[in-house]
C-alpha cells in the first residue's frame, strides 16, 4: 500500500505530480480506489480544469466523504492549483458552487482590470511568492526565499476568511491574492511546485519530511 | 509588465532533435533529452517539443521522448505535432506533457479547440499558427510546417482561436524561422494587440538582442527560440556521439558554421533581458 495517494478524479496533471514524487524517492501512487484512499497516510489533491467539473467528478466517484474523513482524522492533505480551490467553501466559477469547505473562504475570478492594467487571464507563467506575515518557518515553504519564483496557471484565486490560514501571497500586475494556505494538516498552493524547478521540488520534500512520509 | 518566459523549442524527427530553415531542410542535432536537461539547468521557463513529421506521415514517435524528459525536468512541457483528436491529446498528457499545441487539426475543424479546451481546460490548449506573408502583404496561416496553404487570414484566425477557448497562441513566422534574421515584429505586434490571451513569438532569433528587441517592440508575453540555443549546446558538446543515425547528420559530422547565429544560453539571454529592464525569472 502506497503511503501517498495522488487523487485521480479524471482531471489534471497527475503524472507530473507523480514524477516529482518519484524523483524525491517518495512512495506515491495515482488512484481513485476508495480502499487505497482510506489506507493512505497522506493525500495529494492535484487539478487543472474547471471547479464545477472537478466537484462533479469527486461526487460521482464518491471521493468527497473519504477526503473529509482523511482530513478530519488529522492526516496530511496537499492541494495543488484547482486542488487548493476545491478546499474552499464556494466558488463563483459558472454561478456559485460549493466546495469541500475545509477552509472557510471563496474562490473568485481575476478582475479584468487592475487600475490601468488589463489583466491577461488565465495567468500562465512564473510569478513570485511572498510570506503573508511571519515567514515560512515550520511550513512546507520553509527555506523558500521571499520572492522565489513559482509556476502558475489559473483564472481564479482564493480568498480565505481567516487570516491565520493565509500563508503566502502573489502580486499579479498589481492584483494581490493568496497563493498558499496552511491550516493544521492541510497545505495547499495555487502554483505548481512540480513545475517550479528545484525550489518547487524542495516544497514536496519539506511537506513529506514534516509529515513523516520520507 | 509580467515576467516574460523564455522557451527553448525542440523540433523532433524520429528519435532526434532537428532544426531546419523555414521549417524545412532538417538537420539532425542530437538527442532531444540531452538538450532538454541542459535547458532546464540553465534556466528555461518552459520547454516546447514539436514533432515535425507527425502530421505528414501519421506517426507519433514522440511518446518515448516526452516520457524521458518529463521524468527529469520540472518545468512545464508543451508538446505538439500531429495531435488530431481528444485521444491523441490525452495520450501525450499521460506521457508527461502539461500542455499541447495544435495546428492542422484546429484549422480543419475549429470546434476541436473548443472541445479540447472544455475537456482539458483552456490553459492546457495552445494553438500554433504558422504564418507566411503573401505578396499582397497579408499574413496567411499554413499547416504541416508551413507546407500547406489554407487561405486562412492570421489575424482573423487568432481572434477566433481566443473565442474558441484556447489558452495561448504560439505564433511562428515561417519566413523567419531558422534564418537568424530577427523576429517579425510587425506580425507579432498585430496579434499581441488583437487578443487578450498570451502569445509566444517564434521564428527568427539570431542573437540575444533580437529577443529583447521583439519584447520591447511588441510586448509579447513569451519567446520561443531554437537555433541560438541548440547551436550553443552542439558547439559545447563536440564529442556528441549522441545523434542517432537516422536523418541528415552531415551537419553534425562536418560543417559547424552557425554564421547567422550568435549562440547563447538561456541564462545569458536572461541577463540581456534584465539589463534591458525586461522582467523575467532569474
The answer to whether residues A51 and A99 touch, using CB atoms and an 8 Å cutoff, is: yes
Residue B85 or B24, more confident: B85
Catalytic residue status for B11: yes
Could you tell me which chain A residue has the CA closest to the CA of B42? A197
C-beta atoms of B45 and A121 within 8 A: no
> Is A81 annotated as catalytic?
yes
Q: Is the pLDDT of residue B58 over 50?
A: no
Within 10 Å of residue B130's Cβ, how many Cβ atoms?
27
Residue B275 reports pLDDT greater than 70: yes
**Distance between CA atoms of residues A132 and A151, nearest Å:** 19
pLDDT of residue A10: 83
Find cell 511568492 and name the residue: A129
Whole-number mean pLDDT of chain B? Answer: 89
Dist. CA B179–CA B182, nearest whole Å:
8
Q: What's the CA gap between A147 and A138, in Å, rounded?
A: 18
- The set of cell numbers assigned to B51 is 514533432
Active-site entry in A21, A70, A81, A93: A81
B2 and A50 within 8 Å at the Cβ level: the answer is no
Residue B280, preceding bond cis, omega within 30 degrees?
A: no
* Measured CA distances, A1 to A5, A101, A207 (Å): 9, 28, 20
Where b means 16+ CB within 10 Å and e means fewer, B73-86 reads bbbbbbbbbbbbee
Instruction: Give me the residue from B93, B121, B221 closest to A50, CB to CB.
Output: B121
Q: How many domains does chain A have?
A: 1
Task: Give B222's contacts in chain A (Cβ within 8 Å).
Answer: 125
Span A28-42, pLDDT tens digits: 999 999 999 999 999
Contacting residues for A56 by C-beta, under 8 A, at least 6 apart: none
Which pLDDT band holds residue B247 (cuts at 50, 70, 90)? low
Q: Given CB atoms, is B163 within the 8 Å cutoff of chain A?
A: no
Active site residue A194: yes
pLDDT (0 to 100) of residue A62: 97
Give the model confidence (pLDDT) of A163-214 as tens digits.
Answer: 999 999 999 999 999 999 999 999 999 999 999 999 999 999 999 999 999 8
DSSP letter assigned to residue A74: T
- For residue B215, what are the CA distances in angstroms to B88, B264, B276? 33, 17, 10
Tell whether the model's pLDDT for residue B240 goes beyond 60.
no
B282 within a domain of the structure (yes/no): no
pLDDT of residue B152: 95
Average pLDDT of every residue of chain A: 93
A148: closest chain B residue by CA = B281
Q: What is the span of the domain harbouring residue A41?
A: 4-210
Q: Count of domains in chain B?
A: 1
Q: How high is the ipTM of this complex? A: 0.91
Q: Assess B165–A contact: CB distance below 8 Å, yes or no.
A: no
Candidates B93, B95, B123; nearest CB to A153: B123
Please write the tens of the pLDDT for every residue from B188-202. Answer: 999 999 999 999 999
Residue B254 has pLDDT above 60, yes or no: no
Higher pLDDT: A135 or B158? It is B158
pLDDT score of A118: 82
Distance in angstroms (rounded) separating the CA atoms of residues A78 and B278 = 34
Q: Which of residues 44-73 of A touch B (CB under 8 A)?
A: 48-50
Question: What sign has the CA pseudo-torsion A25, A27, A32, A38?
Answer: negative
Residue numbers in A near B2 (CB within 8 A): 120, 123, 125, 127, 172-173
Residue A63 has pLDDT above 50, yes or no: yes
Residue B281 falls within a domain, yes or no?
A: no
What's A149's domain CATH number? Answer: 3.40.50.880
Is pLDDT of B61 > 80? no
Please check whether residue B123 touches A, CB under 8 A: yes
Confidence band of B150 (pLDDT split at 50, 70, 90):
very high
Contact with chain A for residue B120, Cβ under 8 A? yes
Structural domain range at position B204 = 5-275
Please give the average per-residue pLDDT across B267-279, as a whole number: 97
For chain B, give the DSSP string: --PBEEEEEEEEETTEEEEEETTEEEEEEE-HHHHHHHHHHTT-S-EEEEESSHHHHT----HHHHHHHHTT--S-EEEESS--SHHHHHHHHHHT-SEEEE-HHHHH-THHHHHHHHHH-GGGEEEEEEEEE-TTS-EEEEETTTTEEEEEEHHHHHHHHHHTT-SEEEEEETTTTTT-S---HHHHHHHHHH-SS-EEEES---SHHHHHHHHHHH--SEEEE-HHHHHHHHHH-TT---S-SSS--HHHHS----TT-----HHHHHHHHHHTT--B--
Preferred mutation among A23, A28, A116, A124 to probe B, highest tally of B CBs within 10 A: A124
Stated length of chain A: 214
pLDDT in tens, B136-146: 999 999 998 78
pLDDT tens, position by position, A102-121: 999 999 999 999 998 888 88
Amino acid at each position: 500500500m502506497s503511503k501517498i495517494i495522488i487523487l485521480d478524479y479524471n482531471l489534471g496533471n497527475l503524472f507530473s505530480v507523480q514524477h516529482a514524487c518519484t524523483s524525491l524517492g517518495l512512495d506515491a501512487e495515482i488512484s481513485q480506489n476508495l480502499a487505497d484512499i482510506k489506507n493512505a497516510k497522506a493525500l495529494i489533491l492535484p487539478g487543472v480544469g474547471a471547479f464545477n467539473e472537478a466537484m462533479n467528478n469527486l461526487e460521482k466517484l464518491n471521493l468527497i466523504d473519504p477526503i473529509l474523513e482523511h482530513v478530519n482524522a488529522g492526516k496530511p492533505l496537499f492541494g495543488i492549483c484547482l486542488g487548493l480551490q476545491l478546499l474552499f467553501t464556494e466558488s463563483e466559477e459558472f454561478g456559485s458552487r460549493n466546495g469541500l469547505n475545509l477552509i472557510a473562504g471563496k474562490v473568485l475570478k481575476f478582475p479584468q482590470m487592475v487600475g490601468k492594467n488589463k489583466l491577461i487571464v488565465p495567468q500562465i507563467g512564473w510569478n513570485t511568492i511572498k510570506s503573508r506575515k511571519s515567514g515560512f518557518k515550520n511550513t512546507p515553504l520553509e527555506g523558500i526565499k521571499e520572492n522565489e519564483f513559482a509556476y502558475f496557471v489559473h483564472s481564479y484565486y482564493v480568498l480565505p476568511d481567516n487570516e491565520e490560514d493565509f500563508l503566502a501571497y502573489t502580486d499579479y500586475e498589481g492584483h494581490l491574492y493568496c497563493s498558499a494556505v496552511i491550516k493544521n494538516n492541510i497545505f495547499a498552493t495555487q502554483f505548481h511546485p512540480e513545475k517550479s524547478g528545484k525550489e518547487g521540488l524542495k516544497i514536496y520534500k519539506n511537506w513529506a519530511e514534516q509529515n513523516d512520509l520520507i | 509588465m509580467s515576467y516574460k518566459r523564455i522557451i527553448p523549442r525542440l523540433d523532433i524527427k524520429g528519435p532526434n532533435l532537428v532544426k531546419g530553415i523555414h521549417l524545412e531542410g532538417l538537420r539532425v542535432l542530437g538527442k532531444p533529452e540531452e538538450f532538454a536537461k541542459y535547458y532546464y539547468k540553465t534556466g528555461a521557463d518552459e520547454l516546447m517539443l514539436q514533432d515535425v513529421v507527425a502530421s505528414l506521415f501519421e506517426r507519433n514517435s514522440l511518446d518515448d521522448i516526452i516520457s524521458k524528459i518529463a521524468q527529469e525536468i520540472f518545468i512545464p512541457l508543451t508538446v505538439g505535432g500531429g495531435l488530431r483528436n481528444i485521444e491523441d491529446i490525452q495520450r501525450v498528457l499521460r506521457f508527461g506533457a502539461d500542455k499541447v499545441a495544435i495546428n492542422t487539426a484546429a484549422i480543419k475543424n475549429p470546434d476541436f479547440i473548443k472541445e479540447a479546451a472544455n475537456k482539458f481546460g483552456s490553459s492546457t490548449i495552445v494553438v500554433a499558427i504558422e504564418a507566411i506573408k503573401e505578396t499582397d502583404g497579408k499574413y496567411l496561416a499554413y499547416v504541416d510546417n508551413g507546407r500547406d496553404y489554407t487561405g486562412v487570414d492570421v489575424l482573423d484566425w487568432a481572434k477566433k482561436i481566443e473565442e474558441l477557448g484556447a489558452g495561448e497562441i504560439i505564433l511562428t513566422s515561417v519566413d523567419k524561422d531558422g534564418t537568424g534574421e530577427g523576429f517579425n515584429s510587425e506580425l507579432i505586434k498585430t496579434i499581441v494587440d488583437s487578443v487578450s490571451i498570451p502569445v509566444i513569438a517564434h521564428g527568427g532569433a539570431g542573437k540575444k538582442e533580437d529577443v529583447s528587441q521583439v519584447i520591447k517592440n511588441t510586448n509579447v508575453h513569451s519567446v520561443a527560440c531554437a537555433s541560438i540555443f541548440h547551436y550553443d549546446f552542439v558547439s559545447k558538446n563536440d564529442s556528441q556521439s549522441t545523434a542517432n543515425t537516422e536523418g541528415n547528420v552531415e551537419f553534425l559530422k562536418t560543417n559547424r558554421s552557425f554564421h547567422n547565429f550568435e549562440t547563447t544560453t538561456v541564462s545569458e539571454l536572461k541577463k540581456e533581458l534584465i539589463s534591458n529592464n525586461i522582467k523575467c525569472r532569474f
